[in-house]
Structure 1
Amino acid sequence: MGSIPMQRETDFRASATAPDRAGPPAVVRTSLPGNPLAPAAARRFVRAALADWTELGVPAAAGFTERLADDSVLLVSELVTNAVVHAGTAVELVCRLDASPGDTTDFLVIEVSDHHPSRAVRGEQLPQAAGTPEYGRGLHLVATLSESWGITYRTGTKTVWARLPVDGVHAVDEIETYASEQATQRGLRAAEILAPLPKRASHDTEWVNRGALTFLAEASDLLAGQFDEDLVAALAGQLLVPRLADWCAVWLDDASEGSARGPADAPGARLARVWHSSEHRIEELRRVLEKEPPRLPDAAGTGAFPVPWPGEALAGGGSGAALAYRLTAGGRALGTLLIGRAGLIRFADEITGLVEDFSRRVALAISTARRYQRQANISQVLQRGLLPSKVAEIPGVESGIVYEPRDKGGPGGDFYDVFQAGDNRWCFALGDVQGKGPEAAVVIGLARPWLRLLAREGYQVAEVLDRLNQLLLDDATEAADAAAAVVAVAGGQGVPPDGPTSRFLSLLYGELVPYDGGVHCTIASAGHPLPLLMSADGAVREAASPQMLLGVVDDETYTSESLDLRSGETLLCVTDGVTERRSGHLQFDDANGLADALAGCAGLDAALVAERIRRLVHEFSDRPPDDDLALLVLRAR
C-alpha cells in the first residue's frame, strides 16, 4: 500500500490548550473489553459524547456536523477493531476536545490505548519488538480520514490517536480505485472497485475510504450478535454477495479437531454455507466445491490465496478469479472462506485487503459462537445434574412446578426436589443459593444429595436443616483454609480472584405423610420466603415461621411446624425471584401481593395454580425477570 506520510505523525500531547480559549478541554474516557462487541460499544460511546457536549453547551460543539460525527465513528471503529479483533486485547478509549497553541480551531481527538503492547498479534508467529511501528491497512484508512494521527509508545502502553478538526475540513489522500459500468447499473457502490479494467475514479475516493469502514463496522455489529457458527457462515455469505463477490463459500473445521493450521480439505472440515447471486446455481456450486475444496498451503497465513476457478459449476458463466482466506482466531484454524467473481483476472488489492479484514471478523465471530455453545452445553449438562430427572408422585397430592433460570440453559441459583424418603414418606425442597453460575452449582451439588441422604436415613425435618447447616459451614471453612494456603505461598498478596465466597442457602424443606382424607405436612423455612396455605374456600395464611439462613451461624438450632393438607387445600412455595419481582419501586409481594394472587387461584388444580402465578409474575413488569423464578405447588386431592 506504500508508506504513510511521516510528517502527519505529530504527537498532540506536546500541545497545550491555548491560554486565551475559555474553559478546559472536554474529556471523556471508557474501558472496553477484548470481545467482538467492543467496536459497537465504542461507536455508541463517541456519539453519546458528542451529544452530551452539545447538550452541555461546550463552545466547540457549535462546530459539530454530521460529517464530523460520521468520521469520528468510523475512526474509533477501525482503531478499536484493530486493537480488539486483530490483537485480542482490552483497550481504553478517550475522546476530548482540544486546540493547537495560537490556533482558534477546535479539534476532536480520539485515543485508543492498548495496555498489552508486547502481546503477539493473533496469527503471528513471533511478537513484535516494542517500538516497532505497525502501518497496516487500518492505519492507512485512519490517516486518510484524520487531519493528523500518530502512535505513542509508553511503558506498558501503546496508544494510537487521531485528530479531526471540528470545522469539518478533512485532508483526504487520493488513492487508486476501480470502477465498472456493470456495477454502476446495479447501484452497488461497494462493487464499483471490482471492474476488470482499471481507471482513475476520483469521485469514488470517498466510498473507498469511508464506505469500506462503514461496511466493516456494520458487518462487525451483525456478526458479533450471533452465537451460532452456521448462522455466522450464512451472514458472511449474504454480506459479501453481491457486494464484493458473485459467490461465496464457508468451510468450518470440526470444533473439537480444529488445528492451528487446517485447510478446507482437512478431515472434519464441512462445507457450512454456499451462496451465489444467482440462486439456481447454488446447489451445483455446492456439489463441485464439496468434491474439490480449496487447498491452502501452510504459508498462506490469513491473507488472500488465489485458487482455481470452479468452471464446472458455473457453466456459461465464463471464467473469473477466486480467492481463499483461512479463518483463524486465537492461533487456531476454524475454517476457510472462499469468494469468486466472474470476468476478473484478479481481484483489486483494495478488495483483497477489505475481505481479509472481514474474514478476521468472521473468524472471531465463529470463535465466540463456539465458546458460547461450549459453555451452553456445559451449563445444560450441569443443570440436568443439579435438578431431579423426575418429580416423585405422592399419593393423594397434585404437584405443579415452575423453574425458570434467568440465564436460559445455564445453571441458576434456585433448585427444587420432590422425592420418596421411605415407606409412606415423601420430602420436598425449594432452595435459593447466594450467587449464580458455577458457585451456586457447587452449593446445590452439595445440598441436594445430602438432603436426600439425610431424609432417607430417617432424620426429621429440623434435624436435616441442623446437619445441612453444619455441612455448609464445614465446607466453607475448608475452602477458606485452602485459600489461606494459596495466599501464604503467594507471599501474602491478598485473597486470589477465585478465592472462596460465603455459601449461604435459603431453604424451604418439608415432609409429607399421606393418610385417609389428607396429608400430614411437617415444614421448616430457613431464610426463605414463607410458604402460603390456601384453604378450599380461598382463605390464605402463612404456613411456617422465619428462621436463619443456612451456612451463616454455627450453633443455630432449627425447628419445624406441622399442619394437615385436607382435600382442596393448596400449599404454595416460591423463591425470592417471585416475591421480589420489581416494577419500578414496587415488588410483587408488596401489600400481600402473592397472597392475593394465590387467593385468585381457588378451585384450580396444582398445575394451573403454578402457571397462573408464573403468568402474573411475568405480567407484573414490562421488563424480563432479573432473577431466577422457581415455585412449587402441592394440592391435596
Structure 2
Amino acid sequence: MTTENAAHATRSRSGRAGDSAEAERLAAVEHYSILDTPPEGAFDRIAALAARWLDAPFATVSFVDADRVWFKAVYGSEGISQISRDHGLSSSAILDDEPCVIRDALPGPQGVGTSPVPGEQDVRSYAAAPIISPEGHRLGTVDVFDTRHRQFQDSALSTLADLAAVAMDTLELRLSTLRTLRHERQLRKQLEGFASTLQRTLLPPSLPTVPGLQLSCHYHTADPGEVTGDFYDVFALADGRWAFFLGDVSGHGAPAATVASLTRYTLRAAAMHSSDPTDVLEELNTVLLHDPNVSHSATVLFGVLAPDSEGGFDIVLAGGGHPPALWLRPGSGNGPGVEEVWPEGGMLVGALPDASFATRRLRLRPGQTLLLYTDGLTEARPGGDIYGAERLTEFLTRHTEAGATALVGELDALIAELGSAVTDDVALLAMSVPRE
C-alpha cells in the first residue's frame, strides 16, 4: 500500500501516466457510462459503509475524468458533485493499484492548495482504494476523509479495497443491465415496426370516395408492439350500393390479427354474391367455425348503404354481437340526439354453428352521421372508472353537427386526452351526409 503526505500527492499529480495509457483509462471510464448520472442507492451504500467501517466523517465514491474528479456518491457532506482534477486526491490515488493514504491533507504551502472535499476545510487525513476494471484500468476510488491526524490500519485499508471491488462489481452489473435495456429497446422498436406493418395489412390503405357521403376513419394502437384484431372497411358493390363493416376479434397478438385478416376478406367475398347482410354474417360464421386454425370469435357490424332520391342513404345494418352503431341527428325532437342502432338478436360470429343475426334499417339524411366504433373506447378507465357508453353518448351529443371528418377528429382528441386509460385498440368509422 502507498503512504504519502499532501506535498507528495501534489507532485504525483504532476506526473500522470503516459498519454496512451491515460487515453485508454479515460475510454474505460466512458465505457461504463457512469459520469454525470443521478445518485444510485448501491453507490450511496458503499460510501456510507466506508465511512462507518473506517470511522470517518466523510466518504465518497469518485471517478476521475480528464479534468475533474466526479463524485458518484458522497457521505457526510452535501452539494458536492465534482472538483478539479488538480485538487482532487483521487487523482493521486489512481496512480497505483494499492490503497493510498495521505496523513497530512491540510492546505498550505506544502499541501494540496485546497480542501480535498469542497466546503470541508478541516480535513486532515485521507485514505482511498482504486476502483480497478477487469482490464486493469483504475477508474476512480472509494475514499474516506477524516478531520483528525490518524493512522489507517492495514485491516481498514483492506476493507476499503474490498469496497472498491464491490464498486467495480456494481459497475459491471450496472453496465450489463444497461446493455440488456438497450437490447430490449432495440427489439421493442423492431417489434413495433413489424406490428405496425402487419396492422396496416388488416386495414384499407384509404377509404373510397362515395358520392354524396363523407367518410372518415381512425385507428388508435394502445400498444405499438402488439397487433390486435380490430378491423374495418368500405367497398363498392354492384348497382351503386356500398358495403361497410367494423369489428373486433377476441384476444390479441398474431392469432387475433390472423382472424381479423380472414374476416375482412371473407366479408368482402361474401358481400359480392349476397344482397342480404345477415347472409354475409352467416357465411363468415361458417368460415370461422370450419377453419381448424381459428380459435377466436369476433363481433361485427356489417352494413349496406344505397343512395336514395332525397340526397340521403338507405342503410341496412346487420349485427353480430358488436356494440351498437350511434346515429347522430342534430336538431331531432327537442334537441340534438344520439340513438343507438342495435340490431337486436345478433350473436357473436364464429362461436356457435347455429348463431342467428339480425338487421336494422335506417335512413341517413343530410346533416346526420353514423358512427361505428370498437369497445376499446368505452372500456377505457380514466381515474379507474370505466368510460362507458353513456359518457360516450354525452360526448357525441355535443358534436352532432360535426360531420364524419370533424367528429373523428374530436374522438381522436378524446382518446389522446384519456391517454394510458385506453388499454385496448380503438377503431372508428364514421359516415355522414353533408348538408347542401
TM-score range, shorter chain: 0.5 to 0.7
TM-score between both structures, scaled by the size of structure 2: 0.62
1:398 counterpart = 2:214: yes
1:544 maps to: 342
2:319 maps to: 525
* Contact 1:588 1:617 (8 Å CA) reproduced: no
Going from structure 1 to structure 2, the CA distance change for 1:67 and 1:565 (only over 3 Å counts) comes to closer
**CA distance in 2: counterparts of 1:430 and 1:439, whole angstroms:** 18
1:570 maps to: 369
1:503 counterpart = 2:287: no
Matches within 5 A, 1:447-486: 447-475=263-291, 478-479=292-293
1:210 maps to: 166
**CA distance in 2: counterparts of 1:571 and 1:188, whole angstroms:** 64
What SS does structure 2 have at the residue aligned with 1:211? helix
Cα drift, residue 505 of structure 1: 0.1
- Matching residue's letter, 2:233: D
1:91 maps to: none
Cα drift, residue 629 of structure 1: 1.2
Cα drift, residue 624 of structure 1: 4.0
- Matching residue's letter, 1:579: T
1:623 counterpart = 2:415: no
Going from structure 1 to structure 2, the CA distance change for 1:551 and 1:212 (only over 3 Å counts) comes to same
Going from structure 1 to structure 2, the CA distance change for 1:67 and 1:440 (only over 3 Å counts) comes to closer
* Contact 1:404 1:628 (8 Å CA) reproduced: yes
2:78 maps to: none
1:561 counterpart = 2:357: no
- Matching residue's letter, 1:210: V
Going from structure 1 to structure 2, the CA distance change for 1:504 and 1:183 (only over 3 Å counts) comes to closer
1:613 counterpart = 2:429: no
Q: Which of residues 68, 77, 93 is equivalent to 1:186?
A: 68
Matches within 5 A, 1:81-100: none
2:397 maps to: 599
What residue ranges of structure 1 are gaps of 5+ in the alignment?
A: 1-46, 48-65, 72-144, 146-167, 171-178, 227-364, 480-499
What SS does structure 1 have at the residue aligned with 2:198? helix
**CA distance in 2: counterparts of 1:607 and 1:550, whole angstroms:** 30
Cα drift, residue 616 of structure 1: 2.6
**CA distance in 2: counterparts of 1:466 and 1:408, whole angstroms:** 33
Cα drift, residue 575 of structure 1: 0.6
**CA distance in 2: counterparts of 1:67 and 1:463, whole angstroms:** 67
Matches within 5 A, 1:35-434: 70=45, 186-188=68-70, 200-201=99-100, 203-204=128-129, 205=161, 208-226=164-182, 365=183, 368-408=184-224, 410-434=226-250
How big is each residue's C-alpha offset from its partner over 1:496-545, in whole Å with a ceiling of 9 and x where there is no partner? xxxx7x31101111111123310111101211110111113221111122
* Contact 1:184 1:192 (8 Å CA) reproduced: no
**CA distance in 2: counterparts of 1:595 and 1:627, whole angstroms:** 19
- Matching residue's letter, 1:608: A
Q: Which has the higher contact order (CA 8 A, sep 6+)?
A: 2
Cα drift, residue 378 of structure 1: 2.6
- Matching residue's letter, 1:418: V
Going from structure 1 to structure 2, the CA distance change for 1:580 and 1:374 (only over 3 Å counts) comes to closer
How big is each residue's C-alpha offset from its partner over 1:203-229, in whole Å with a ceiling of 9 and x where there is no partner? 223663233234344444544444xxx
Going from structure 1 to structure 2, the CA distance change for 1:212 and 1:628 (only over 3 Å counts) comes to same
What SS does structure 2 have at the residue aligned with 1:458? coil
What SS does structure 2 have at the residue aligned with 1:430? strand
**CA distance in 2: counterparts of 1:67 and 1:536, whole angstroms:** 63
- Matching residue's letter, 2:303: G
* Contact 1:568 1:636 (8 Å CA) reproduced: yes
* Contact 2:325 2:371 (8 Å CA) reproduced: yes
- Matching residue's letter, 2:392: L
- Matching residue's letter, 2:68: R
**CA distance in 2: counterparts of 1:218 and 1:576, whole angstroms:** 42
How big is each residue's C-alpha offset from its partner over 1:139-193, in whole Å with a ceiling of 9 and x where there is no partner? xxxxxx9xxxxxxxxxxxxxxxxxxxxxx879xxxxxxxx99x759611479969
| Larger radius of gyration between Structure 1 and Structure 2 | 2
* Contact 2:305 2:314 (8 Å CA) reproduced: yes
Going from structure 1 to structure 2, the CA distance change for 1:218 and 1:534 (only over 3 Å counts) comes to same
* Contact 1:618 1:624 (8 Å CA) reproduced: no
* Contact 1:532 1:542 (8 Å CA) reproduced: yes
Going from structure 1 to structure 2, the CA distance change for 1:391 and 1:194 (only over 3 Å counts) comes to farther
Matches within 5 A, 1:582-597: 582-589=381-388, 592-597=390-395
2:433 maps to: 636
Going from structure 1 to structure 2, the CA distance change for 1:466 and 1:382 (only over 3 Å counts) comes to same
**CA distance in 1: counterparts of 2:162 and 2:405, whole angstroms:** 64
* Contact 2:207 2:216 (8 Å CA) reproduced: no
Q: Which of residues 535, 550, 554 is equivalent to 2:329?
A: 535
* Contact 1:406 1:412 (8 Å CA) reproduced: no
Kindly tell me the number of residue pairs found equivalent between the two proteins. 304
1:442 maps to: 258
What residue ranges of structure 2 are gaps of 5+ in the alignment?
A: 1-39, 55-61, 73-89, 101-126, 130-160
TM-score between both structures, scaled by the size of structure 1: 0.44
What SS does structure 1 have at the residue aligned with 2:406? helix
Q: Percent identity?
A: 30
**CA distance in 2: counterparts of 1:576 and 1:613, whole angstroms:** 13
